[in-house]
Amino acid sequence: MLPQTLLLWLTGLLLTTHAALHHPAPPTPSPPPATATPIYQFHGNNTWAENLAIRPSGDILVTRVDVPELWHIHPTTGTGNLLHRFPHATALMGITEISPDVFALAVGNATTTGHPVAGSWSIWTVDMNSRIPRIKELLAIPDAEWPNGVGRMDGLAGVILVADCVKGVVFKVDVGKRTYEVTLQDPTMAMENVIGINGVHGYEGHVYYSSTAKRTLYRIPVDHRVRATGPAETVLADTGVDDFAIAPDGTFYLMIHAGNQVLKLGRDNEVTVLVGHGNGTDVAGPTGGQVTRDGRVLYVSTCGACGGDSPWVEQGAEVLSVRLWG
């Protein structure tokens, strides 16, 4: 190697190292195909894991819709235990972390086949910072008909977004003031023969949301109060997307519920299948997911194909891991 080349190479290396101190290194795509590895499976075909949130420790909290239960899953050992069964409710929906190791989730009455009870819904918080988790009601949302996805607005602390899949709106909940209001309402969120808005996550000045009825991922530009500043835009049409996860590098992972697949939507708008296939049991009915803070692993909750959405597949609900890179 010529000294000059060596110098350029070293300089390049130093620059790379320097940049890495300030920004996470861009992920190297894992060589296809990625695989979905079961971390934990619930017993029985009628089980349904609805959503999950990753704790700072790396453990996972999983909500169930078939029973009003919050589960604690340990990926390193592949074990899980019931953390809390909510009284006076039948179902848990979306969950998100609101401050370090404190989570908010939607609790109320519905079944895996629908039957949501308007007026039964509230947001609860689960504080995992003490040895015995502190679990309490944050506020009731009497106007809600069926909260589905629960998400955050990146860079906006103390606010959670709650997607109501029957009412077709996004509620903004102020965690500190314990108040709520309808902050977004759009025809693209409306229920039709099936539920409307499903997953909701705020990212880079937009609220992204999926619609089950429209089979589309949308976004709406918003201000710092999460009020719309422009019309809804289609991000990806013709996809049966349930909830979705946004990686630290801006890649979206879409849970294609009845298609038994997870799609990857790159920053370059390229869409590829990450894992799963039509009749496969490796990703049976994905419902929600989250990428670890380091961007390396995607965890996916499933309903085990939900007994009927895909009549050729049915199994116990699962939590899966997909190594994205590294």
Ligand X SMILES: *[C@@H]1O[C@H](CO)[C@@H](O)[C@H](O)[C@H]1NC(C)=O
Residues that bind ligand X (CB under 6 A): 45, 88-90, 109, 117, 119-120, 278-279, 312, 314-315
Residue closer to ligand X (CB basis): 118 or 156: 118
Q: Distance between CA 320 and CA 73 in Å, rounded? A: 11
Residue closer to ligand X (CB basis): 186 or 314: 314
Minimum separation from the CB atom of position 49 to ligand X (A): 16
Pairing type for strands 102-108 and 122-127 reads antiparallel
Torsion region of 288: left, alpha or beta (phi above 0 gives left; psi -120 to 50 gives alpha): beta
Minimum separation from the CB atom of position 9 to ligand X (A): 49
Residue closer to ligand X (CB basis): 290 or 315: 315
Q: Which residue is nearest to ligand X (CB)?
A: 278
How wide is the angle at C-alpha 82 spanned by C-alphas 78 and 83, nearest 5°?
110
Torsion region of 11: left, alpha or beta (phi above 0 gives left; psi -120 to 50 gives alpha): alpha
Minimum separation from the CB atom of position 87 to ligand X (A): 8
Rounded to whole angstroms, what are the CA distances from 105 to 8, 289, 310?
A: 52, 15, 28
Minimum separation from the CB atom of position 146 to ligand X (A): 13
3-class DSSP state of 208: strand
Residue closer to ligand X (CB basis): 29 or 119: 119
Pairing type for strands 271-276 and 318-323 reads unpaired
Q: Which helix (H) or strand (E) segment is 6 a member of?
A: helix 3-22
Pairing type for strands 286-291 and 49-54 reads unpaired
Minimum separation from the CB atom of position 144 to ligand X (A): 12
Residue closer to ligand X (CB basis): 9 or 312: 312
Residue closer to ligand X (CB basis): 66 or 314: 314
Q: Distance between CA 221 and CA 22 in Å, rounded? A: 28
35 phi, psi to nearest 5 deg: -125, 150
Residue closer to ligand X (CB basis): 91 or 232: 91
Minimum separation from the CB atom of position 142 to ligand X (A): 10
Distance of CA 263 to the CA centre of its chain: 14
Minimum separation from the CB atom of position 209 to ligand X (A): 26
